[in-house]
Structure 1
Amino acid sequence: MTATLRAPSAPKPRVDWVDVAKGICIVMVVMMHSTLGVEKAAGAEGFMHYAVAFARPFRMPDFFMISGLFLALVIDRDWRLYLDRKVVHFAYFYLLWLVIQGAFKWPGIALDEGAGAVLHQFLLSLIDPFGTLWFIYLLPIFFVFAKLVRRAPWWLTLGFAALLESLQIHTGWMVPDEFCARLFYVLLGWYGASAIFRIADWAREHRGLTLLGLAVWALINGAAVFAGVATLPGVSLALGTAGALAIVAAAALIADATAAEPLRYAGERSIAVYLAFFLPMAATRAVLIKSGVIQDVGWISLIVTIAGVVGPLALHWAVMRSGWGTFLFVRPRAFHIDRPRPSPETRLQPAR
């Protein structure tokens, strides 16, 4: 790896395999929350538990690596424009969806503990991310860090990030813990972008070898997970990196297939899914468990996962089609701190 490993200077507006990879990631994230929620409510495990466990080493590493993939294209922008796109953008959606999610959770807290407890939870959420929104909260922190260290030697920053991940810091606070655990992958996406794109191209050109490599990786990853060694220092870093690159290769293999279109569609709107999946997930889980129509925990988990992905996509489609409630997924101009002349590119900032 060299310091010049960056994303191509003129990539396509959207790269098909990147959206497919993001689609795979967001499905795995929803699957994890859905499955663990169902299992907690049911007091039992189902077959989906094994899929969640298998994906644990690489589920979030791949998401963060892809988040850093195109960072080189914007890292040298002036601070005002950079902060608008990489900080204020995500802060808007975090605060908005914090209030939306809180509207479903805080009334119960108010009844049990009083209004002061709600205020305390809201203020705490400003420094310790609320619920499933931690990914949105952490991204701006990573982007600001990358901007600050952009002139530092790549090997020094990446080595520092690898050390942080290997230390497996647990303070009990989400921000420092996840910053240390995920920084390496954001930087890997940034510094290694050109190499990652070459891996995707190679995978497409050597499908047989890629399939063989993916099979070997799956065996090693599965063996490490179910042997209980996947979280050991050094092992977690190796599995996270290998798994993230495996998803890149798999996405490149299937990106041209019609069957991959749902994943591409979901990946292009992955942040919208991430913001909104909690409600259809929780509602479907409650209905299925209380009704008792389906007894198998695994099948309940699978159905809840599907609802958690399809529900937000349907909401996003309805909002963008009707024009009603677009503020849910499109940051209004009033919440921009950079005000360039309007253009087709800058007029809307979708949450994807």
Structure 2
Amino acid sequence: MRSAQPQQSSLPLPTVAVDAPEPPRVKPRVEWVDLAKGLTITLVVLLHTVGMLVRKDLTPEFWRDINAFLQPIRMPLFFAASGLFAQGMISMTWAKMMRSRVAHLFYLYTVWLLMFFVAHNLLPEEVRHGGYAKFEAVIRGLYLPSSALWFIYGLAVFAIVAKLISRFPLAVQFGFAVALSISAYGRYGFFADIGFGWRNMAMYFVYFLLALHAKQLVVAFSRLAKGWTVLAALAAYAAVYFPIVKLNVFEARELRLLVTTIGLGLGVLVAAWLVGTMVGNVFQSIGTRTLPVYVMMDILIAVVVALLLKVEVLTALPGVGAVLPLLVTASVIILALTAHKLILLARMDFLFELHPRLRGIAPAKPRAQLTTS
């Protein structure tokens, strides 16, 4: 842009070019990604809620079947949504990535491992997790993730592994990830007795990698979301889920990789299809704040169920047991988000974030402050 100055003589005056600062570029956001995160964290809360309620005979067993049906959709979608925008992280230097991302995740994992230990020593015995209440579980959890927090641990491991193999051709990277998944599903060798945390990481790493390197493909696929494509994907998923997982027609656990892959496709289409709907807006709102829900859900489920056990009049009402998982899930999410706000107001944000200075992401002080301090 050029600004003309008023002439005060007959001689022409030079014009001065003024470079206006460019507005900061905003990265385009794929709307359904936050929705997918909100949807999957809700399903994770439902999974843990049903487990507790069934053990306490507060809800029918059929809820376990519902969770089993959702399992091959839930975690692949969760990890794919996490990997979809991880390109910037992988392109960082090792020092920056380890400090700003990996250290942050391991910090969160360790803090909440300790919180689990404290909480499950304070909770009523009928709802506490005996394993979490032992300090040895904290030590063992540092190398053998076997709590509800394994997903955070997994994201840190995925970042490290994805960067380690990033210099190899994509065919080699995906070949490694698929072989890892098949070995974990088949529980061969190393994966036979290593625990569900590491086994789950091996199963689902391929979906983090897929979203990382095939973002455009995943986004293009999501644009196919329509009522009929969702129904077609649901039919395809049911066609592989029931014979392979539910009925175990084929005695080959490795085939579950096919189920989770089709499950991911269904999850992407459902999330994209729900964008703009009332239900979708709720999940999208939750999806921007998944961390507090994830780390607090296990403790809050125990608290809510402990209260339910004391009000038998409510749980004995006809039909309540059938819908109780939904009510508890909604309550836990609301409680987690509310508790998160209160914790931040109390300036206890260290529970949800490694200090920005330690992460290397603290904003620099203005120059004026630097010269006077």
TM-score (norm 2): 0.78
Moved over 6 A (4+): none
The structure 2 residue matched to 1:294, chosen from 308, 315, 318, is 315
Which residue of 1 is the match for residue 289 of structure 2? 269
Is 2:269 the counterpart of 1:246?
no
Is 2:329 the counterpart of 1:305?
yes
Which residue of 2 is the match for residue 101 of structure 1? 116
Q: Give the conservation status (yes or no) of the 8 Å contact 2:35–2:271.
A: yes
| Larger Cα-atom Rg | 2
Q: Give the conservation status (yes or no) of the 8 Å contact 1:42–1:289.
A: no
Structure 2, unpaired ranges of 5+: 1-24, 124-132, 366-373
Deviation digits for residues 48-97 of structure 1 (CA, Å, limit 9, x no counterpart): 22321210122211111222111223211111211123211111211111
Partner Cα separation in structure 1 for residue 326 and residue 61 of structure 2: 10
The structure 2 residue matched to 1:195, chosen from 207, 217, 221, is 217
Partner Cα separation in structure 2 for residue 231 and residue 62 of structure 1: 26
Once the two structures are TM-superposed, the CA of residue 305 in structure 1 deviates from its matched residue by: 1.6
Which residue of 2 is the match for residue 65 of structure 1? 80
The structure 2 residue matched to 1:226, chosen from 233, 237, 246, is 246
Structure 1, unpaired ranges of 5+: 1-9, 109-116, 344-352
Once the two structures are TM-superposed, the CA of residue 334 in structure 1 deviates from its matched residue by: 4.5
Partner Cα separation in structure 1 for residue 136 and residue 279 of structure 2: 47
Q: Give the conservation status (yes or no) of the 8 Å contact 2:227–2:273.
A: no
Q: Percent same amino acid among aligned pairs?
A: 26
Q: Which amino acid aligns with 1:104?
A: A
Q: Give the conservation status (yes or no) of the 8 Å contact 2:292–2:336.
A: yes
Which fold has the larger relative contact order, with Cα–Cα distance below 8 Å and residues 6 or more apart in sequence? 1
Q: Give the conservation status (yes or no) of the 8 Å contact 1:26–1:274.
A: yes
Q: Give the conservation status (yes or no) of the 8 Å contact 1:39–1:45.
A: yes
Partner Cα separation in structure 1 for residue 308 and residue 134 of structure 2: 29
Partner Cα separation in structure 2 for residue 303 and residue 313 of structure 1: 16
Q: Give the conservation status (yes or no) of the 8 Å contact 1:49–1:298.
A: no
Deviation digits for residues 182-219 of structure 1 (CA, Å, limit 9, x no counterpart): 2212111212211001111232xxx2442332342353
The structure 1 residue matched to 2:169, chosen from 148, 153, 157, is 153
Partner Cα separation in structure 1 for residue 113 and residue 251 of structure 2: 30
Which residue of 2 is the match for residue 132 of structure 1? 148
Instruction: Say if 1:299 and 1:289 are closer, same or farther in 2 by CA, change over 3 A.
Output: farther
For residue 324 of structure 1, give the secondary structure of its aligned residue in structure 2.
Answer: coil
Q: Give the conservation status (yes or no) of the 8 Å contact 1:38–1:301.
A: yes
Q: Give the conservation status (yes or no) of the 8 Å contact 1:18–1:66.
A: yes
TM-score (norm 1): 0.82
Once the two structures are TM-superposed, the CA of residue 31 in structure 1 deviates from its matched residue by: 0.6
Deviation digits for residues 244-285 of structure 1 (CA, Å, limit 9, x no counterpart): 121111111111223311100111111221011112211111
Is 2:17 the counterpart of 1:17?
no
Which residue of 1 is the match for residue 299 of structure 2? 279
Q: Give the conservation status (yes or no) of the 8 Å contact 1:98–1:130.
A: no
Partner Cα separation in structure 1 for residue 99 and residue 217 of structure 2: 29
Instruction: Say if 1:151 and 1:120 are closer, same or farther in 2 by CA, change over 3 A.
Output: same
Q: Which amino acid aligns with 2:206?
A: F
Once the two structures are TM-superposed, the CA of residue 330 in structure 1 deviates from its matched residue by: 3.5
Q: Which amino acid aligns with 1:213?
A: A
Which residue of 2 is the match for residue 113 of structure 1? none
Q: Which amino acid aligns with 1:252?
A: A
Deviation digits for residues 89-138 of structure 1 (CA, Å, limit 9, x no counterpart): 11121111111111022468xxxxxxxx9442321121122521111112
Instruction: Say if 1:287 and 1:208 are closer, same or farther in 2 by CA, change over 3 A.
Output: closer
Which residue of 2 is the match for residue 235 of structure 1? 255
Q: Which amino acid aligns with 2:101?
A: K
Moved more, 254-263 or 10-19: 10-19
